[in-house]
């Protein structure tokens, strides 16, 4: 008696399971949505029948078939017309009780159902795979159908027509065969799951079915439930090997959020977010929630806030203007630059952190790889993976110059172009960049210009909207507060300051705010216009440096948009414009000040030399040329005397200017003590 029960058990039990209220609803919704698969929570199966759930894990192949049949018979009851259209339903099991670590997969797991989490590193295009192949016998014309399994297409052994029984040849009929979409993924362990000092392992995942292919893209964190399979690789002329390679036949794929489109707030969180935004001090609150364990640096936290929210990109028929901001922190050692960067990478909806020394151009942009089949594929780099997120690049000054050039295009045009090995492609990299660099001489020298202080090319400096200098200046009051703050962290092992907004909520707040597209009001527009024109007119008088260029005006607009977004406002108010002007002034004062005339000079960032130095070099050069006309060569002592008498230039400064011209190769020494223009 018991044996008979065993035989009818699984399918009957599944049919009962699908008769529960929740799944009857889900099944009837399938017809409305036009879906061919049904998601089943493993916990619900476990609650319904523990033995059934255990068997499902042990013998997934057999039991998933029972589940499919059970779901299909329930669909025939709920929606008979839709059931006739479909031949089968696929049941997709989601959320097993515990995830199996990728590196723990082994021979015990073969044929079992497991849940694996990881990051997709690469994916193949979606390719159709034949499920049922139709073959036509060339002799008698009979069509034979064969269900296909395994990697290779199998032809029939002999013709099915009894009068023919021919061993071939057969023609494959494409029109009458049944195909299904398939895709292969490479999944790599998540960095947080790695044991110390280990390299991440990868696993091959095969997806079959139109509803799970192409859900996830490279760079996404996924959790996938599937059956572990082992296949023996075949060597030509030798046969199959004895060691097998594991892969996963995926049954369901779910994306775990780091992705901005997915992390939608729940209604309760949305209420919280809207309530927060009504607070008049919301900007202060957000600033205090950014890296609360790091003391001070209000203006830098303010700029990070603007960076997180970002401006609005504009796409015109002829040009696109980026919305994301870029910021650069230059600072003495030990000013918590890397800590800030790592924090931002954690909080941003799609944040990545890389450090300068080990970063190559291909790793930042895109690498062209050769596939086993002989074709070429593209593998996305950090800036492409951080599309619509933030890329934090530490130690930017340590990068090799040829690798640094790769960032130029991504910073201004927001694309990454590749032309290599027959692949010509332009990928999107709409990334905000937060970079950190150390001063060239170890410490920031206040009496030298920014371009002399950092070994970064001017072409990159001019693409940053905001540049800040973190100076480590001893000061009794701030030092005592700082030491108290740091020691308190070590004592309590907690942040001494409780952030007003928790990290999770802040992340949701940022991705919620990204949906708002603030518009400039007339007042704000006038403020920005006045500031820009005032700064420009200061440069009109003869011999004044250029204080600001159109790039800075665009940066100002981006900052105002970000500030309005942070308060979830649709319109940009005058106060936003004021705040943007203030932080821009602060950045220009720290960076773009000509130290001899104390005027703001954007050319320091744009060309690397302030106006005053250029003028002085010009004087020295013209004096050299004049003396050459008289004597053929300029004698150095005579030149120094001439400069001292005529232009009141002290000897030390004149020596320095001559040295600079010699270094740049504008003048040279034909022999000791004499100078000549090249």
| Residue 1: predicted pLDDT | 44
Minimal CA–CA distance to 353: which of 399, 324, 386? Answer: 386
Alpha helical stretches, state H, 632-673: 636-647, 651-664
Q: Please tell me the distance from the alpha carbon of residue 44 to that of residue 29, in angstroms, as a whole number.
A: 18
Bridge partner residues of 366 (DSSP): 380
| Residue 257: predicted pLDDT | 60
The model's pLDDT over 248-288, given as tens digits with 9 standing for 90+, comes to 999 999 987 644 444 567 788 888 888 888 888 989 989 98
Task: Tell whether 289 and 224 lie within a shared domain.
Answer: no
Is a pLDDT exceeding 90 seen at residue 227? yes
Express as a percent the part of the chain with pLDDT over 70: 91
Band of pLDDT at residue 521, cut at 50, 70 and 90: very high
Cα 422 vs. chain centroid, distance in angstroms? 26
Phi and psi, residue 305, nearest 5° = -60, -45
HSE-CB for 671 with a 13 A CA cutoff: 2
335 or 192: which leads in pLDDT: 335
Task: Tell whether 202 and 319 lie within a shared domain.
Answer: no
Cis amide leading into 620 (omega within 30): no
Query: What's the average model confidence in pLDDT over 20-31?
Result: 87
Q: What is the CATH number of the domain that holds 29?
A: 3.30.1640.10
Q: Domains in the chain: how many in total?
A: 5
HSE-CB for 61 with a 13 A CA cutoff: 8
Three-state DSSP at 435 gives strand
Minimal CA–CA distance to 71: which of 113, 111, 13? Answer: 13
Task: Tell whether 153 and 189 lie within a shared domain.
Answer: yes
Distances (CA, A) of 558 to 363, 387, 396, 564: 28, 18, 24, 10
Task: Tell whether 216 and 90 lie within a shared domain.
Answer: no
Task: Tell whether 602 and 620 lie within a shared domain.
Answer: no
| Residue 121: predicted pLDDT | 79
The model's pLDDT over 36-51, given as tens digits with 9 standing for 90+, comes to 889 999 999 999 889 8
Task: Tell whether 626 and 553 lie within a shared domain.
Answer: no
In a domain, 266, yes or no: no
Residue spans of beta strands (DSSP E) within 337-465: 351-355, 366-370, 376-380, 390-394, 415-420, 423-428, 432-437
Range of the domain at 319: 277-513
In a domain, 261, yes or no: no
Query: What's the average model confidence in pLDDT over 441-454?
Result: 72
All residues at 6 or more sequence positions from 481 whose CB lies less than 8 Å from its CB, including other chains: 295
| Residue 263: predicted pLDDT | 53
378 or 430: which leads in pLDDT: 430
Band of pLDDT at residue 642, cut at 50, 70 and 90: confident
Query: What's the average model confidence in pLDDT over 527-553?
Result: 72
Task: Tell whether 301 and 440 lie within a shared domain.
Answer: yes
Task: Tell whether 442 and 317 lie within a shared domain.
Answer: yes
Q: Please tell me the distance from the alpha carbon of residue 612 to that of residue 589, in angstroms, as a whole number.
A: 16
| Residue 436: predicted pLDDT | 92
All residues at 6 or more sequence positions from 322 whose CB lies less than 8 Å from its CB, including other chains: 313, 412, 413, 414, 430, 558
Query: What's the average model confidence in pLDDT over 236-245?
Result: 88
Q: Please tell me the distance from the alpha carbon of residue 293 to that of residue 495, in angstroms, as a whole number.
A: 5
Query: What integer best gives the mean pLDDT of the chain?
Result: 83
The model's pLDDT over 554-604, given as tens digits with 9 standing for 90+, comes to 889 999 999 999 999 999 999 999 999 888 888 877 765 543 444 555 555
Task: Tell whether 428 and 443 lie within a shared domain.
Answer: yes
Contact between 136 and 171 under an 8 Å Cβ cutoff? The reply is yes
Contact between 431 and 386 under an 8 Å Cβ cutoff? The reply is yes
The DSSP output letter for 125 is P
297 or 193: which leads in pLDDT: 297
Task: Tell whether 366 and 413 lie within a shared domain.
Answer: yes
The model's pLDDT over 344-376, given as tens digits with 9 standing for 90+, comes to 888 887 788 888 777 888 888 888 888 776 677
Q: In the sheet that 432-437 helps form, which strands lie side by side, from edge to edge?
A: 351-355, 390-394, 432-437, 326-331, 466-470
In a domain, 377, yes or no: yes
The answer to which of 130-139, 362-371, 403-412, 600-609 has the lowest mean pLDDT is 600-609
Task: Tell whether 483 and 381 lie within a shared domain.
Answer: yes
Task: Tell whether 77 and 130 lie within a shared domain.
Answer: no
Q: Please tell me the distance from the alpha carbon of residue 420 to that of residue 125, in angstroms, as a whole number.
A: 20
Three-state DSSP at 605 gives helix
Band of pLDDT at residue 5, cut at 50, 70 and 90: very low
Q: CB-based burial of residue 115 (10 Å sphere; 0-12 exposed, 13-18 middle, 19+ buried)?
A: buried
Q: What is the CATH number of the domain that holds 482?
A: 3.40.50.300
Contact between 230 and 110 under an 8 Å Cβ cutoff? The reply is yes
Q: What is the CATH number of the domain that holds 560?
A: 1.10.8
Q: Which of the listed ranges 104-113, 406-415, 420-429, 502-511 does the model predict with the highest average pLDDT?
A: 104-113
Q: What is the pTM of this model?
A: 0.69
Q: What is the CATH number of the domain that holds 236?
A: 2.40.50.140
All residues at 6 or more sequence positions from 537 whose CB lies less than 8 Å from its CB, including other chains: none
């Amino acid at each position: 008696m018991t044996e008979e029960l065993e035989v009818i058990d699984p399918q009957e039990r599944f049919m009962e399971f699908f008769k529960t209220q929740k799944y009857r609803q889900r099944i009837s919704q399938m017809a409305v949505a036009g879906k061919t698969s049904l998601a089943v929570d493993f916990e619900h199966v476990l609650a319904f029948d523990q033995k059934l759930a255990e068997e499902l894990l042990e013998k997934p192949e057999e039991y998933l078939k029972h589940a499919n049949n059970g779901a299909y018979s329930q669909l025939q009851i709920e929606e008979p017309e839709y059931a006739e259209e479909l031949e089968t339903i696929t049941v997709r099991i989601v959320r097993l009780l515990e995830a199996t670590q990728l590196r723990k997969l082994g021979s015990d797991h073969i044929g079992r159902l497991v849940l694996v989490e990881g990051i997709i590193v690469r994916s193949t295009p979606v390719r159709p795979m034949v499920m049922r192949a139709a073959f036509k016998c060339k002799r008698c014309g009979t069509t034979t159908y064969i269900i296909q399994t395994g990697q290779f297409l199998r032809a029939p052994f002999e013709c099915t027509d009894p009068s023919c029984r021919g061993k071939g040849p057969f023609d494959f009929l494409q029109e009458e065969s049944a195909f299904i979409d398939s895709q292969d993924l490479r999944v790599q362990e998540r960095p947080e799951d790695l044991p110390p000092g280990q390299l991440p392992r990868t696993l091959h995942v095969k997806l079959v079915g139109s509803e799970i292919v192409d859900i996830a893209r490279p760079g996404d964190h996924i959790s996938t439930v599937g059956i572990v399979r082992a296949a023996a690789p075949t060597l030509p002329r030798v046969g199959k090997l004895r060691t097998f390679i594991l892969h996963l036949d995926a049954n369901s794929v779910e994306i775990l959020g780091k992705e901005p489109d997915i992390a939608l707030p729940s209604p309760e969180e949305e209420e919280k977010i809207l309530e927060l935004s009504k607070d008049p001090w919301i900007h202060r609150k957000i600033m205090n929630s950014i890296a609360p364990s790091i003391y001070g640096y209000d203006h830098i936290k303010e700029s990070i806030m603007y960076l997180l929210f970002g401006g609005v990109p504009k796409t015109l028929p002829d040009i696109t203007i980026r919305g994301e901001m870029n910021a650069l922190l230059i600072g003495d050692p030990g000013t918590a630059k890397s800590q800030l960067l790592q924090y931002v990478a954690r909080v941003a909806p799609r944040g990545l952190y890389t450090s300068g020394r080990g970063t190559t151009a291909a790793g930042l942009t895109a690498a062209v790889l050769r596939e086993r089949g002989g074709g070429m594929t593209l593998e996305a780099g950090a800036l492409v993976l951080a599309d619509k997120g933030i890329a934090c690049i530490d130690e930017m000054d340590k990068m090799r110059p040829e690798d640094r050039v790769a960032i130029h295009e991504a910073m201004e045009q927001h694309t990454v172009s590749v032309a290599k090995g027959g692949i010509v492609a332009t990928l999107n990299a709409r990334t905000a960049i937060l970079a950190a660099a150390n001063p060239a001489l170890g410490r920031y020298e206040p009496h030298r210009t920014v371009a002399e202080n950092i070994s970064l090319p001017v072409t990159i400096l001019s693409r940053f909207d905001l540049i800040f200098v973190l100076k480590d200046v001893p000061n009794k009051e701030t030092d005592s507060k700082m030491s108290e703050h740091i020691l308190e962290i070590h004592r309590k092992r907690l942040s001494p300051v409780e952030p007003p907004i928790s990290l999770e909520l802040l992340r949701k707040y940022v991705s919620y705010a990204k949906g708002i597209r603030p518009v400039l009001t007339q007042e704000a527009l006038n403020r920005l216009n006045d500031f820009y024109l005032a700064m420009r007119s200061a440069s009109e008088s003869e011999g004044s440096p250029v204080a600001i260029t159109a790039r800075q005006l665009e940066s100002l607009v981006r900052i105002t948009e970000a500030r309005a977004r942070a308060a979830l406002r649709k319109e940009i108010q005058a106060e936003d414009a004021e705040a943007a002007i203030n932080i821009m002034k602060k950045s220009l004062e720290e960076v773009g000040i000509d130290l001899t005339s104390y005027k703001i000079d954007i050319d320091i960032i744009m060309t690397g030399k302030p106006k005053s130095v250029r003028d002085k070099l010009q004087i020295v050069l013209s004096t050299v040329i004049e003396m050459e006309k008289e004597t053929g060569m300029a004698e150095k002592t005579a030149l120094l005397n001439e400069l001292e008498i005529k232009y009141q230039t002290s000897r030390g400064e004149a020596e320095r200017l001559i040295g600079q011209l010699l270094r740049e190769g504008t003048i040279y020494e034909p022999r000791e003590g004499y100078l000549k223009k090249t």
